[in-house]
Amino acid sequence: MNKKSLVIGAGGQVGSELVDELRRLYGGSQVVASDIKPSTNKELAESGPFEVLDVLDRDSLLRIVKKHHVGTVYNLAALLSATAEKNPEFGWKLNMEGHFNVLDLAREGHISRIFWPSSIAVFGPGTPKVGTPQDCVMDPSTVYGISKLAGERWSAYYHQRWGVDVRSVRYPGLISYKTLPGGGTTDYAVDIFYKAISQRKYTCFLKADTNLPMLYMPDAIKATIDITEAPSQDIKIRSSYNLAGFSFTPNELAQLIAKRVSGFEISYDIDFRQQIAESWPGSIDDSEARKHWGWNNSYSINDMVDDMLTNLSKQ
């Protein structure tokens, strides 16, 4: 790909690391970072172009695409599951209209490729919980999940009707140490590491036995770039691909941390996010992604725990 990339939502948990990796691969000037607010991350703002951009503002989006000769857009701007439940109208608006604005740029020929993430939130209480297949009952019970499922169907429609080259994976919970996640149900799996190091204890808002699919950030970034750069004929699913690394419960994660942080203890104070988590799968079958475009995760749960603790201890 010889045109530049634009990352929308570059200040977020995925965006900040995606920009770092794309700039490492292609050079700072080739990757335009953008976010709704000016960046407080010095590295992000100084290692290449940065634009303040609201994905809901079509005119500014088009102006920035033209100004930087953007070919590929990674649209990561979204309200996640817990935040969208608190503000359903805005969750729907941002997640849907933002997606349409980028899809329309491609349909009108201003950009040639889109990456847009979906989520395990597209599944719901009627979905098989174990080894959730690519295609099955999808009855999301959150605004976030409904918007992601609708977005998947619109992606497939834009591809089938107008040949829009849109690619997507259904992110599970993402664990990382560089930028905090914001507003998700799986965020406990990141918070727990910060509290383990600073206080040797953590109060979890999900029940001890809530099993959820998760992925370590380096693998999530690899999947994101790999699917976006794969030859078009390898992308046989234009809605979104199942993607997974490993699954664990808060109790299992706490035990792995306690083996490495002496005296660490977990307690529980359950809130509304439990109901969201209970509607999601416990594990995911991502064999289509593996077969079609070579997806393969590198980090096991133990690798992830070691890496998180090592890096957060240094900070």
Query: By the criterion CB under 6 A, which residues form the site for ligand AKB?
Result: 80-81, 119-121, 144, 171-173, 184-186
The smaller minimum CB distance to ligand AKB, of residues 11 and 172, is found at 172
The C-alpha atoms of residue 308 and residue 24 are separated, in whole angstroms, by 21
- Would you say 119 or 242 has its CB closer to ligand AKB? 119
Residue carrying the six token digits 């699913």: 237
SS3 212: strand
Minimum CB separation of residue 20 from ligand AKB in Å reads 20
Cα gap 176→218, rounded to integer Å: 8
Q: How many residues does the chain have?
A: 315
Chain position whose Cβ is nearest to ligand AKB? 184
Least distance from ligand AKB to the Cβ atom of residue 273, Å: 8
Q: What gap in Å lies between CA 309 and CA 176, rounded to an integer?
A: 11
The least distance separating ligand AKB from the CB of residue 185, rounded to whole angstroms, comes to 4
- C-alpha torsion 27→29→31→33, nearest 10: 130
Give a three-class secondary structure readout of 238-275.
Answer: CCCEECCCEEECHHHHHHHHHHHCCCCEEEECCCCHHH
The catalytically annotated residue of 74, 144, 158, 171 is: 144
**Side-by-side strand order, sheet with 31-35:** 50-52, 31-35, 4-8, 70-75, 113-115, 166-167
Closest to ligand AKB by CB, 70 or 276:
276
Q: Which is nearer to ligand AKB, 48 or 98 (CB)?
A: 98
Is 216 one of the annotated active-site residues of the chain?
Answer: no
Residue 48 Cβ, how far from ligand AKB at the closest point, in Å?
Answer: 26
Both tokens of residue 62? 């088009």
**Which residues are marked as active site?**
144
